[in-house]
Structure 1
């Protein structure tokens, strides 16, 4: 897998073993938040397109060639990347900075955008500077989370599922029920789970036909009992980015997001060894978004960059690199040479079974369950 030349602006000690999709109960403590704020990049640079553009985003989430080519466009700028591991980390950083983070673009998940708007962490977008917004599939615009897309523009659409090593697991796995069965049998001790409380619980609730966003304490306790006692002892690792692991045959069974799984599969010397499963019961779906944080110093260049990546040709390059649907209208029809397109695009029938992720009211209990699963792992 190609390596991206970016600078990690958040100190390693602050990076959490928690996934990109989850917000823990509340913002981190004041001391940690202050440490995060202290790591902000320089805010030098005017509001025009010249100078550097500071992008704060997820790891391996943009094609380096696209970033390099943007600097050569009219109104473009050299892009400097910072990386975070969770929406919590992003929100904590921006909250502590109070408009002085030094970042010009951030990439939150849609379910967290309302909170960020309420906290006044995002600038309103100038649609006059985003003519390519017209290229985005209307299905993903004007959502309940951001009516009129005043603060956010869709970047990537992802789905959860799992991959398994067909040289070890000889039967066909097709469902979440199969996933949990194999985790206790052929893949015992060689299974990884996403480092995400909700994704783990969603997988289990899908497997038994329960509302994945249930807030019923008793139902959550039953899920905890099964996951802690029956699944956790068979878990080898909790990881949200399985691409390198799969490329190196490091797991027999891996809970994952489609883009990361695809990167691992196509990077493996034996491209047929791992099989991606779209579980028959359904799966969680997320949408990540381009946003401009409050206090951004290079607002014009930020708009120019967002508009640039919404160009269909550029969007296709991004899709080929990250393996996630970029939601530009007609992108599937132009992606004729993309490897493993079935891992990126879902049919209308498959899409009906997908559930957009939210932050449930029972988030605190879900995080506590996740902690217990981690504590019991491999025991």
Structure 2
């Protein structure tokens, strides 16, 4: 592992802030964000500062998730003469509320929204369009993580890091090989009954049913939503022990569950902490699962535009990007970092760098008209669980 300031442990603590935000209920968030934007009054904002060519501002304001960047990378960037000030938010709703209330006068330059929120932010004038000519390292990003459905052409954003969802199971307790969401449901209602953990996320939980039944996980069809509600509440929920998006990090080493829906990087944390990792298997289930992505973007009215582009471009350099992977435990999507991981004897690389055929069948979650119903279904499941 690369040397770095003694800020915190590498993986187990690294994802704590990140994971807790993934546990937020997306339905509540999107409703809240929409309300905030509707209530905010529009203001003119102020123009970015102008500097002579070749001169970069000496300050940069970044608004991001807490503890989400390698301090060694930030320290190295600051050697350019630009100091970096980080403020943290706890949810996309909080980010949108801040930017929506200030309308171009927030004082922030670089922000880190989750990709699925880019449409609502761009439609409401909260983020700047990117000038790709100022991102010389954009070509370092693997095409698999460019041109996502929520930001065609990377008009407003570029990948900061990404992950997906699958499940981990104890091979000593569950016989046979599980490969699909249908297998997950069969085990959850059978051999693993009472020892199952699901994520605290309406879309993620509902997508298990949709994927297992060949339905688009982003469906808004009322019949699909009703069928999912019926199955998840009345058939699956009674077998569920917990809804906890961080369960796998302790669930594997402490063996508190035998079957856990989990984010890939978090499952790696659990295996790193286990005395018997060979007894566990993580599955990238067929036919599909979520491809979530956090992004670099520039806030509307950013004052330190040169520094903002320089910072994002710096983060897309392969060696810098690898240090980010090593720190946060998730892939940044930059080409070649999997090879750097091998060179640095990175543990369980397959849980951070899945095969291309896995990535190609993933489905990015969308914030759509089904969000409210999915929240209701999850709440009903929580009330029914263990009964």
Classify the TM-score, shorter chain.
0.7 to 0.9
> 2:324 — aligned with what?
318
**Pair 1:60–1:190, CA change in 2 (3 A):** farther
Mapped contact 1:325–1:344 kept (Cα < 8 A):
yes
Mapped contact 1:236–1:377 kept (Cα < 8 A):
yes
CA distance in 2, matches of 1:5, 1:204: 31
User: Which runs of 5 or more structure 1 residues have no equivalent in the other structure?
Assistant: 35-44
2:358 partner SS: helix
> 1:212 — aligned with what?
217
Mapped contact 2:25–2:375 kept (Cα < 8 A):
no
Mapped contact 1:190–1:236 kept (Cα < 8 A):
yes
Over residues 256-289 of structure 1, what are the superposed CA-to-partner deviations in whole Å (9 max), with x where a residue is unaligned? 1112222222233433343211113222212221
CA distance in 1, matches of 2:263, 2:28: 14
> 1:183 — aligned with what?
188
> 1:235 — aligned with what?
240
1:96 partner SS: helix
> 2:285 — aligned with what?
279
Per the TM alignment, residue 5 of structure 1 is displaced from its structure 2 partner at its CA by 9.3
- Give the paired residue count: 359
**After the TM superposition, which residues 326-345 of structure 1 pair with which residues of structure 2 at under 5 Å, given as runs?**
326-336=332-342, 337-345=345-353
Per the TM alignment, residue 143 of structure 1 is displaced from its structure 2 partner at its CA by 4.2
Per the TM alignment, residue 350 of structure 1 is displaced from its structure 2 partner at its CA by 2.5
Over residues 296-338 of structure 1, what are the superposed CA-to-partner deviations in whole Å (9 max), with x where a residue is unaligned? 4443333222111100101111122333222212333332122
TM-score by length of 2: 0.80
CA distance in 2, matches of 1:346, 1:5: 20
CA distance in 2, matches of 1:259, 1:310: 20
2:30 is matched with which residue: 24, 31, 38?
24
**Pair 1:339–1:189, CA change in 2 (3 A):** same
Over residues 172-228 of structure 1, what are the superposed CA-to-partner deviations in whole Å (9 max), with x where a residue is unaligned? 322212222222334333322112111111111111222322222122111111111
Per the TM alignment, residue 352 of structure 1 is displaced from its structure 2 partner at its CA by 3.6
Over residues 148-171 of structure 1, what are the superposed CA-to-partner deviations in whole Å (9 max), with x where a residue is unaligned? 433211112211101123343344
CA distance in 1, matches of 2:30, 2:23: 12
User: Which runs of 5 or more structure 2 residues have no equivalent in the other structure?
Assistant: 1-8, 41-48
Q: Within the alignment, does 1:151 sit opposite 2:145 as a pair? A: no
**After the TM superposition, which residues 216-227 of structure 1 pair with which residues of structure 2 at under 5 Å, given as runs?**
216-227=221-232
> 1:64 — aligned with what?
71
CA distance in 1, matches of 2:36, 2:161: 32
**Pair 1:233–1:358, CA change in 2 (3 A):** same
Per the TM alignment, residue 120 of structure 1 is displaced from its structure 2 partner at its CA by 0.7
